[in-house]
A and B are shown apart, each in its own frame.
Chain A
Amino acid sequence: MLDGIPLSANPWHHQGKGFSGASVTQLLQLFIYGLVLGSIYALGAIGVSLTFGILRFANFAHGDLMTLGAYFGLTFVGLGWPIGVSLIPAALATVLCAVGIDQLIYRRLRREAPVILLISSFGTALILRSLVQILWGPNNQVYRSGIQLPWRLGELRIKPDWVVILVGTALLVVALHLFLQRTRVGKAMRAMADNFELAKVTGIDTERIVLWTWAIGAALACAAGVFLGMDTRLHPTMGWRLLLPIFAAAILGGIGRPYGAIAGGVVIGLAEEFSTLVINPAYKTGVAFAILVLLLIFRPTGLLGSPGGGEV
């Protein structure tokens, strides 16, 4: 699809760039961009993958949950708290919202077809987005005004915020790993994602696990939203715009596999950034969708998934 674009004729295309023409620094710079973007995708994709795997529920409100988390963060930053500290109460607030929405709406729909759940999550997404718009206003906002000077390593430029994002993501991923591997709830969660009926038969309290799934997904979504807000800025549609790349990441990693979602997020982030070497950067966001479409058509169970199974 993207091949048909006449690149040379486009005035916005990076001149003289191509894989052969790019310097090592350029590649490294793109790698860092991709890693930062990929971290944000990964944190979002874990929640999507878990809700999809455990509840059979493609949650289209997940992006707006990220937005909500980012704005909660803004409120606490407004109180004068540092961003790292604000993340904790913001995540708690986001978790409360997610669990509340589940109890209020989705709990009544557990037995419904996935498509019905998807539609209800659209409704939730729209309501969350307009609430954010009403409460915090429709304009762009930032956590910290003024320009942050990047560190220079030779020709490489690194913003301090990126380090915070990467380290924060790494810590959250390690925490998630320990949770999934070491705790009973985490094990039950993996069991439910693997085989819902079997997990139920073995006496797992599914409703409790469902709440934990929302809590984990929402906390990570909040972190993703706050990181996105740090990297760019806050806007009521910031999370919604990220929804499909996040779905692409979750599907790439195989639905219901949190580790796959992390890998998927990083791959999509890197692919988007590196694609600017060969295509017009304006089409960068199209890359995730192109990957998604190709993947669904040719390998619907994800790159790491087994071929054949995994139909919803």
Chain B
Amino acid sequence: MKLVHPPRADHEVAVPAAERDPSPSRKLLWEAGILVLLVLALIFVAPTVLSGFRLNLLGRFLALSIVALGIDLIWGYTGMLSLGHGVFFALGGYALGMHLKLQLPEGQIPEFFSLYGVTELPWFWYPFYSFPFTAVAVVLIPALVAAALGYLVVRNRIRGVYFSILTQATTIIFFNFFNGQQRLINGTNGLTNFQTLFGLDVNSSEMRFAVYVTTVVAVVLAYLLCRWLTSGLFGRILVAIRDDEPRVRFSGYDPTGFKVLVFAVSAALAGIAGALFTLQTGIISPNAMAVPFSIEMVIWVAVGGRASLVGAVLGALLVNFAKSLLSENFPEIWLFFQGGLFLLVVLVLPDGLVGWVRTQGRQLWVTVQLWRRRLANTSPA
């Protein structure tokens, strides 16, 4: 038996049309089926296979994958590279963190205030007694901050690299502010040591599992939202803005509204992710607003594949698992590895893993099919 390399010209004719491009509705059915299977696996199989510690990690990473979806929405689809999503993430985290810190008997204020001699709860804490307000704030505060910033930025047609630099500068301003305000929000220590939510112990295994399931559901909802936004006319306009904004403008669409809206949506997703992450790690501190974290978010999406929602989720999970494995064993290598990952993505995998599977992987599959066919034809003789 001899392996024969197929001649190159065969590639184009190899795959029947039906295999290459299933009808849209069938494709959608497949997608829905896979999604349901994945959710069932995450909720029912993962807890039995993974230890409590690993399951908690998975839950955190799933929360992070929601930010990745948000980043993909604005970067992968709309072409705005935000280096400041840590701010929105932290705002969501702080909103929920404040609610958690207020689970106290009547008349008491969170313990850290006494360190700074504060006896009166700062005024902006009061609304966070209410859970409905907090839930809305987790989504709306990041979205409004992003909308305000986005409006100023987009109206002045700040694009490309300038947008990235500006969002990064924003993280530092927020970081400095939160870091310096001991008397308002415990400064650099952040909010931690959470006890109860809805009167239940946040550290009980039932509560942890409930949070995990909530996170899985949130990821699915975020995925569906992004899926819906990026398909159809809205999605096509986003991609058009990414590829040639002036032409979109000439075609009679005003990109401003679209860009501001999509920036706000992606910030809201980051806020939700921040809240879920805070609940699972038990701490939110200004470090979430520090520059490195916002940059890490970008690398998740770049590794998974820009302009692919599955890629964003996959990238967040893979990179974070790699990070936790590496930083558990060789902490000093992680930075080096991360830098290498950036370069690898840019030089070798410009479209990320999903992009690679789409182009090279498909090519490989075609080649394998050809080999098999040839082998089947030649071996009987």
Which chain A residue has the least Cβ–Cβ distance from B157? Answer: A311
Interface residues as binary, B164-191 with A (CB distance below 8 Å gives 1, 0 otherwise): 1110111011001100110100000000
* Interface core residue of B152, B162, B344 (most chain A CB under 10 Å): B162
Q: A312 CA to B165 CA in the complex, in Å? A: 12
Q: A120-B343, A122-B339, A298-B156 are in contact. Are A244 and B172 (CB under 8 A)?
A: yes
Q: A115 CA to B79 CA in the complex, in Å? A: 9
A297 at interface by CB-CB < 8 Å: yes
Q: Indicate the size class of the contact surface on chain A.
A: 35 or more
B interface size (C-beta, 8 A): 42
A173 at interface by CB-CB < 8 Å: no
The residue that B170 contacts in the complex, of A58, A282, A293, with Cβ under 8 A, is A293
- Contact residues in B for A58 (Cβ distance below 8 Å): 161, 164-165
Asked if residues A109 and B346 are in contact (CB atoms below 8 Å), the reply is yes
Kindly provide the distance from the CB of A130 to the nearest chain B CB, expressed in whole angstroms: 4
Q: A127-B336, A282-B176, A286-B177 are in contact. Are A119 and B165 (CB under 8 A)?
A: no
Q: A123 CA to B298 CA in the complex, in Å? A: 12
- Contact residues in B for A5 (Cβ distance below 8 Å): 177, 180-181
- Contact residues in A for B166 (Cβ distance below 8 Å): 292-293, 296-297
Kindly provide the distance from the CB of A55 to the nearest chain B CB, expressed in whole angstroms: 12
The residue that B295 contacts in the complex, of A122, A129, A298, with Cβ under 8 A, is A122
Q: A130-B332, A286-B177, A297-B156 are in contact. Are A118 and B164 (CB under 8 A)?
A: yes
Q: A115-B164, A129-B335, A312-B162 are in contact. Are A297 and B152 (CB under 8 A)?
A: yes
A108 at interface by CB-CB < 8 Å: yes
B159 at interface by CB-CB < 8 Å: yes
Asked if residues B156 and A126 are in contact (CB atoms below 8 Å), the reply is no
Q: A126-B342, A127-B336 are in contact. Are A105 and B347 (CB under 8 A)?
A: yes
Kindly provide the distance from the CB of B119 to the nearest chain A CB, expressed in whole angstroms: 13
* Interface core residue of B81, B165, B170, B347 (most chain A CB under 10 Å): B165
Asked if residues B335 and A130 are in contact (CB atoms below 8 Å), the reply is yes
B338 at interface by CB-CB < 8 Å: yes
Asked if residues B343 and A286 are in contact (CB atoms below 8 Å), the reply is no
A125 at interface by CB-CB < 8 Å: yes
* B340-360 interface (Cβ within 8 A of A): 340-347, 350
B42 at interface by CB-CB < 8 Å: no
B361 at interface by CB-CB < 8 Å: no
Asked if residues A126 and B335 are in contact (CB atoms below 8 Å), the reply is yes
Secondary structure of the A contact surface, majority rule: helix
Asked if residues B302 and A119 are in contact (CB atoms below 8 Å), the reply is yes
- Contact residues in B for A108 (Cβ distance below 8 Å): 347
Asked if residues A124 and B339 are in contact (CB atoms below 8 Å), the reply is yes
The residue that B173 contacts in the complex, of A1, A125, A127, with Cβ under 8 A, is A1
* B110-147 interface (Cβ within 8 A of A): none
- Contact residues in A for B172 (Cβ distance below 8 Å): 244, 285-286, 289
A192 at interface by CB-CB < 8 Å: no
Q: A119-B346, A282-B176, A283-B176 are in contact. Are A297 and B158 (CB under 8 A)?
A: yes
- Contact residues in B for A9 (Cβ distance below 8 Å): 183
Which chain B residue has the least Cβ–Cβ distance from A248? Answer: B169
Interface residues as binary, B359-381 with A (CB distance below 8 Å gives 1, 0 otherwise): 00000000000000000000000
Kindly provide the distance from the CB of A279 to the nearest chain B CB, expressed in whole angstroms: 10
Kindly provide the distance from the CB of B177 to the nearest chain A CB, expressed in whole angstroms: 7
Q: A113 CA to B306 CA in the complex, in Å? A: 14
Secondary structure of the B contact surface, majority rule: helix
* A71-120 interface (Cβ within 8 A of B): 105, 108-109, 112-116, 118-120
Kindly provide the distance from the CB of A200 to the nearest chain B CB, expressed in whole angstroms: 21
The residue that A123 contacts in the complex, of B162, B176, B181, B339, with Cβ under 8 A, is B339
Which chain B residue has the least Cβ–Cβ distance from A138? Answer: B332
Q: A52 CA to B165 CA in the complex, in Å? A: 13
Asked if residues A125 and B346 are in contact (CB atoms below 8 Å), the reply is no
Asked if residues A118 and B81 are in contact (CB atoms below 8 Å), the reply is yes
A133 at interface by CB-CB < 8 Å: yes
- Contact residues in A for B283 (Cβ distance below 8 Å): none
Asked if residues A115 and B161 are in contact (CB atoms below 8 Å), the reply is yes
B153 at interface by CB-CB < 8 Å: yes
Asked if residues A300 and B158 are in contact (CB atoms below 8 Å), the reply is yes
A163 at interface by CB-CB < 8 Å: no
- Contact residues in B for A118 (Cβ distance below 8 Å): 81, 161, 164
Q: A129-B335, A282-B180, A289-B172 are in contact. Are A122 and B161 (CB under 8 A)?
A: no
Q: A285 CA to B179 CA in the complex, in Å? A: 12
Q: A5 CA to B187 CA in the complex, in Å? A: 13
- Contact residues in B for A141 (Cβ distance below 8 Å): none
- Contact residues in A for B161 (Cβ distance below 8 Å): 52, 58, 114-115, 118, 312
- Contact residues in A for B298 (Cβ distance below 8 Å): 119
B160 at interface by CB-CB < 8 Å: yes
* A234-292 interface (Cβ within 8 A of B): 244, 247-248, 251, 280, 282-283, 285-286, 289-290, 292
Asked if residues B165 and A130 are in contact (CB atoms below 8 Å), the reply is no
Asked if residues B158 and A296 are in contact (CB atoms below 8 Å), the reply is yes
- Contact residues in B for A52 (Cβ distance below 8 Å): 161
- Contact residues in B for A138 (Cβ distance below 8 Å): 332
Q: A122 CA to B295 CA in the complex, in Å? A: 9
A-B contact pairs, 22 of them (CB 8 A): A1-B173, A1-B177, A58-B161, A105-B343, A109-B347, A112-B346, A116-B350, A118-B81, A118-B161, A120-B342, A123-B339, A125-B339, A126-B338, A127-B343, A130-B333, A130-B335, A131-B336, A289-B176, A293-B170, A297-B158, A311-B159, A312-B161
Q: Across chains A and B, which 9 residue pairs bring their CB atoms closest together, nearest first?
A: A123-B342, A126-B339, A127-B339, A123-B343, A130-B335, A130-B336, A289-B169, A120-B346, A58-B161
**Other 4 A-B pairs with CB < 8 A, given A251-B162, A296-B169, A297-B153:** A116-B346, A123-B338, A123-B340, A289-B176
